[in-house]
Amino acid sequence: MRNVLILVAVVAVLLGYQLYTHKSEVSERALQPKNEQIVSQGQALYMAHCASCHGDNLEGQENWRQRLASGRLPAPPHDETGHTWHHDDEALFNVTKYGPQYVAGADYQSDMPSFEGVISDAEIVAVLSFIKSTWPAKAQATHDEINRRSEITRQEQN
């Protein structure tokens, strides 16, 4: 009986630890559009790494909904006319770090590079925080709501 109790205690601690680390991993990826320092760092990173495709003003490439001759999609805008703000923090982080293949599958052909090993995780959060900071208040509020719902879904899955 005593051994069983010890086993139960150990499992409980391990589970708690796993939940804890999972949570902190998620919150480290939370965008911070109201943190001026992070946003200005993100703006510089955006100009250096993203603007060449997504545009100096986040306007994306022309006719971004039509495939290029290569069959690939042009870079979409990151302003409110695009759909960046329809995706939660976690999805934006993963697409930036691992490329669209993360969601679309390894065989998906895309001009969007993966930034793993190019910029750090904190820098990815900064650049996405800058992007979010440019959205109108309403789009930012909707995006907060999308994150809140994703968080609830994640908790339900645990």
Q: How far is the CB of 117 from ligand HEC (least distance, A)?
A: 13
Q: Decide if 49 contacts 78 (C-beta within 8 A).
A: no
In the complex, the residues that contact ligand HEC under the rule CB under 6 A are 49-50, 52-54, 72-76, 82-84, 87, 92, 95-96, 100, 110-113, 115, 127
Q: Which is nearer to ligand HEC, 74 or 150 (CB)?
A: 74
Q: How far is the CB of 75 from ligand HEC (least distance, A)?
A: 4
Q: Decide if 49 contacts 130 (C-beta within 8 A).
A: no
Burial class (CB in 10 A: 0-12, 13-18, 19+), 80: middle
Q: Which is nearer to ligand HEC, 111 or 151 (CB)?
A: 111
CA dihedral in degrees (141, 145, 151, 152; nearest 10)?
Answer: 150
Q: How far is the CB of 36 from ligand HEC (least distance, A)?
A: 19
Q: How far is the CB of 141 from ligand HEC (least distance, A)?
A: 18
Q: How far is the CB of 4 from ligand HEC (least distance, A)?
A: 49
Phi, psi dihedral angles at 86 (to 5 degrees): -85, -10
Q: Which is nearer to ligand HEC, 5 or 69 (CB)?
A: 69
Q: Which is nearer to ligand HEC, 34 or 86 (CB)?
A: 86
Distance between CA atoms of residues 121 and 148, nearest Å: 21
Q: Which of 22, 20, 30, 49 is nearest to 113 (CA)?
A: 49
Q: Which is nearer to ligand HEC, 26 or 53 (CB)?
A: 53
